């Protein structure tokens, strides 16, 4: 039973990270280029779990849907 719970928890956390990453990418497609702080504010990421914004941003960059620009600016690819 414990291993089933761990599997569910892993899938749940992955789904949350993916949803947060998609929120960042959608916001960037809407606004164009945003500074890191503005992106966090517009997405409401201050309400996400601790570290969620950074994880989602990194995941978006790794997945190739978000591009990091100089000066902590980002845009959707």
pLDDT digits (tens, 9 = 90+) for 65-77: 999 999 999 999 9
Structural domain boundaries of the chain? Answer: 2-76
Contact 64, 75 (CB under 8 A): no
pLDDT digits (tens, 9 = 90+) for 4-57: 888 888 898 889 999 999 999 999 999 999 999 999 999 999 999 899 999 999
Instruction: Specify the CATH number for 2-76; select among 1.10.10.10, 3.100.10.20, 3.40.50.620, 1.20.1250.20.
Output: 1.10.10.10
Contacts of 71 (CB under 8 A, 6+ apart): 35
Residue 67 burial (C-beta neighbours within 10 Å; 0-12, 13-18, 19+): middle
| Rounded Cα gap, residues 25 and 74, in angstroms | 10
CA 42 vs. chain centroid, Å, equals 12
pTM: 0.86
């Amino acid at each position: 039973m414990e291993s089933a719970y761990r599997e569910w928890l892993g899938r749940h956390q992955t789904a949350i990270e993916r949803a947060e990453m998609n929120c960042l990418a959608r916001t960037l497609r809407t606004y164009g280029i945003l500074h890191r702080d503005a992106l966090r504010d517009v997405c409401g990421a201050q309400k996400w779990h601790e570290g969620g914004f950074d994880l989602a941003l990194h995941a978006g960059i790794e997945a190739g849907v978000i591009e990091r620009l100089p000066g902590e600016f980002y845009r959707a690819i």
